[in-house]
Structure 1
């Protein structure tokens, strides 16, 4: 299996640990060799219940931390970006933000609207972070189902494919920066399962290239 350099979490991990922000033991996670994490910050226009505390505690444990937003098709991209940007303030030394694109709306018109919301979210977040392109998190089959949309090629790619075989690269991208290779990892400090991530480069290069 690939090596695990990072994990990503949301309120699900807090709830699996019995609820409360302290349900995730970030010091234990750091001791297990995890170097970076993405924390769920927002979903549609709502903030994740434990976003602020998870970010603060992960930083206190010495991890490189970024945030992600789960994109929905039922609110504007600008409003969703506002929810992300106003929940946690990321700055120098943090990872660039990430947009989670993993829905396939039912009709071509709805899919086109979803893609436009993604573009609007990216534009708003870039504006707030000196033009830095955010990560796009997705799967190759989802990207294809959305029509292999253009306009995202400058975004670094965080690609999901579970197993030991590297993922195929979706159209419009040249490579991935992060490969989410498991959704059922286990680690000291988290009750239940957690997503595991492998870097396509050294951690030092990753930090240098993708920090704000």
Structure 2
């Protein structure tokens, strides 16, 4: 840092003082930007590009594939515009039997590949549903639930349509908890869930990671009795679950599937997937 040191009185001292203060402020700013969770505007991705598990590797790390527990589980996949047009035949032939497709984000984004992905998975024989990437710092939970339902996130009792998912996780665009206190975050989530149920008659699935839930909701336990849990953890086991849930319904275990999309295990045989679809 260049500091002008010539002169000890008058304007010279003033300039030196101002340069020194400015240098100190710049150094403090540089330090803050290196702290965990800090992100500059230049580092943030484009609005709308967020997808399930985007922050899991960065915050929870990447582990091995699931251990063989001998429990019956059913393979699933989740996709977004990141995958573009999906080869559903290849996924079906690989053993994938259910799928979730990103429909919306905030109240400003709709997945341009939604029709190909949502209808394509259905047409190949999968049980499928839609998910919403939440941005609690942009609009209310109720407004985002309405936007989701109005743009692909609805539900019908046809045995092939899963209830919608609230994807609530790390903010890829800024502060991890979207600038909300734990109590304010819980209120936002409750508003979304209540409006979704009022619109569809179904309790939405909550997709989250235990570490984010603990940090940003204070490990709130109030949703476990009504909302199925889809837990994200890229490791050999799902690990400790968020408070309120004694078991998971779905587990996202990797973001590097053998074909495309994030891969998941449904905690049960295919008939249990159908049961969730039927409500």
TM-score relative to the length of structure 2: 0.66
Whichever of the two has the greater Rg, that structure is 2
1:132-211 counterparts in 2 under 5 A? Answer: 132-146=202-216, 147-153=218-224, 154-187=226-259, 190=260, 194-211=261-278
Query: Following superposition, which runs of at least 4 residues in structure 1 exceed 4 angstroms of deviation?
Result: none
Change (3 A) 1:59 1:118: same
Secondary structure in 2 matching 1:5: strand
Unpaired runs of at least 5, structure 1:
15-22
CA distance in 1 between partners of 2:222 and 2:129 (Å): 23
Map of 1:129 onto structure 2: 200
Unpaired runs of at least 5, structure 2:
1-64, 67-72, 171-175
1:83 and 2:147 aligned: yes
Over the aligned positions, Cα root-mean-square deviation in angstroms equals 1.8
Query: 1:136: Cα distance to partner?
Result: 0.5
CA distance in 1 between partners of 2:98 and 2:79 (Å): 11
1:159–1:167 CA contact under 8 A, matched in 2 = no
1:28 and 2:90 aligned: yes
In the comparison of the two structures, how many residue pairs are matched?
Answer: 197
Map of 1:20 onto structure 2: none
1:47–1:83 CA contact under 8 A, matched in 2 = no
CA distance in 2 between partners of 1:186 and 1:127 (Å): 38
2:221–2:245 CA contact under 8 A, matched in 1 = no
